[in-house]
Amino acid sequence: MKIQRKVTFDEVIQNFLKEHPIDASYEVNTNPDAQKSLIMANEIFEEWNYVLLERQDILKVILPWHLGCKGELTLVPKSGLTVEQTVKKLREIEDLYPQTNQVCWQKIVKMGNCGELTHLFLSTQAISHEDYAEINISGNLFHLDGLHRMVSWEFHGLLKDNRQIPAYVARNL
């Protein structure tokens, strides 16, 4: 992770809303939930940095409990998984997942075809939210927004070594 500069929460939220409209009309729009996570992270950490991440940084990001967009299979258990572990799991159930978790799969496919690697929103610790309550992992970055994108980018081979991905990271002072 290469820290570029400190930023204000106003910059973070403006970029989030520009890339992730709250009123987007696609099925299972979780942008309002992600916005709440950013606000919660800001209340906890009070400091944000604009950073550049490489593939190895992203593979280590901890993802919270994810029910697969209300599908039949849970993609990430309550104990959390790294992006790398999640992609490995997805490859193991790749034949089944598109049928059991259509909305989640469609998001993963869409993000793999978009070409643009947009900002990620992360923190240096898990936030106080039920989706993170059973995670007992430290020393990594934690997802606030970008689960489908990170999984999709690695799944589809878009995370190339030395490619830098922009992110906003909430961190302790």
Structure token digits, residue 172: 């302790």
CB count within 10 Å of CB 77 equals 14
Main-chain dihedrals φ then ψ at residue 122, nearest 5 degrees:
-135, 175
pLDDT value of residue 137: 87
Average pLDDT, integer, range 110-130: 90
CA atoms within 13 A on the CB side of 45: 27
Confidence check: pLDDT of 115 > 80 = no
Listing DSSP states for 78-120 in one string gives TT-EEHHHHHHHHHHTTTTHHHH-HHHHHHHHHHHHS---PPE
pLDDT value of residue 165: 95
pTM as predicted = 0.93
Number of H helices, E strands in the chain: 7, 7
Residue ranges covered by each domain of the chain? 2-170
Q: Which helix (H) or strand (E) holds 143?
A: strand 142-145
pLDDT value of residue 161: 80
Instruction: Determine which of 26-35, 37-46, 74-83 has the lowest per-residue pLDDT on average.
Output: 26-35
Average pLDDT, integer, range 164-170: 97
**102, 27 contact by CB (below 8 A):** no
Confidence check: pLDDT of 147 > 90 = yes
Question: Tens digit of pLDDT for each residue in 53-106?
Answer: 999 999 999 999 998 888 899 999 999 999 999 999 999 999 999 999 999 999
